[in-house]
Amino acid sequence: MIVVHHLEKSRSQRVLWLLEELGQPYEVKVYKRDPKTILAPKSLMKVHPLGKSPVITDGEVTVAESGAILEYLVERYDSAGRFKPKAGAQAALDYRYWLHYAEGSLMTPLILALVFSRLPTQPMPFFVRPVVKGLSAKVIANYIRPQLQTHFRFVEQQLAKSDWFAGDAFSAADIQMSYPLMAAVERSGLELPRVRDFVARVKARPAWQRAESAHGPFELPGSD
């Protein structure tokens, strides 16, 4: 039986969703974030040395990192080939690209935006706070926001070509891309009409709705 070590408000939501798409039985072990640091509990280190989520165990096999988990599940359990394009097609190259782009490129400025937006709210001497607040605002305005604009201009252009990221059919690449795009819709403040349409298509899928119904709504770290 697959066990999903599910950290609340985390990327592991994608793993639950894919398992619902596959119709594969699984169990969930939920871990709570530290309310002050929003970090994962140390108990996750018993599953994987880095103590990060998502992690799954499948018998004697342990797999970490959301992209690696999605690839493992598709290769192991998608015998009908529903969630990965056939090898040799352009869609297969696109599938691999977007599967890795989501975490390798797109999540970095989104995480930096979260860190620098939260930085001025952390405990510190009162006379330091204005300096930290000003510095954070400059980093966001001069570096992070331009990076986000560049990335999401690129994503919007891709979604202008097709509803999905790897050809005309839904795939695990769309599941992988869903997390940063939902984060962008909620927090970036950018005008992203095609990204919003993509998120709406995702949330209309029955498997997404089953995952939310069973394990709670999609939420981001730092959400109240």
CATH code of the domain containing 126: 1.20.1050.10
Collapsing DSSP to helix, strand or coil, 64 comes out as strand
Q: In total, how many domains does the chain have?
A: 2
Q: What is the dihedral of CA 151, 53, 81, 78, to 10 degrees?
A: -170
Residue 72 and residue 150 share a domain: no
Domain hosting 183: range is 89-205
Give the model's pLDDT for residue 44. Answer: 84
Give the model's pLDDT for residue 203. Answer: 95
Residue 74 lies in a domain: yes
Give the model's pLDDT for residue 108. Answer: 93
Distance, CA of 39 to chain centre: 16
Residue 113 and residue 45 share a domain: no
Give the model's pLDDT for residue 26. Answer: 97
CA distances from 176 to 39, 79, 87, 98, 205 (A): 21, 20, 19, 8, 15
Burial of 19 (0-12, 13-18, 19+ CB in 10 A): buried
Residue 20 and residue 114 share a domain: no
Residue 151 and residue 96 share a domain: yes
Residue 155 lies in a domain: yes
For the chain (224 residues), the mean pLDDT of every run of 10, in chain order, is 88 93 95 79 85 91 95 97 93 97 95 85 79 82 92 97 96 97 88 96 97 84 57
Give the model's pLDDT for residue 120. Answer: 81
Residue 199 and residue 96 share a domain: yes
Phi-psi region of 81 (alpha: psi -120 to 50; beta: other; left: phi over 0): left
DSSP bridge pairs for 29 = 5
Q: Contact 114/192 with Cβ under 8 angstroms?
A: no
Residue 157 and residue 182 share a domain: yes
Where would I find the H helices in 59-192? Answer: 66-77, 90-101, 107-118, 129-139, 145-161, 172-187
Residue 68 and residue 94 share a domain: no
- Among all chains, which residue has been given the structure tokens 């984060």? 183
Residue 41 and residue 14 share a domain: yes
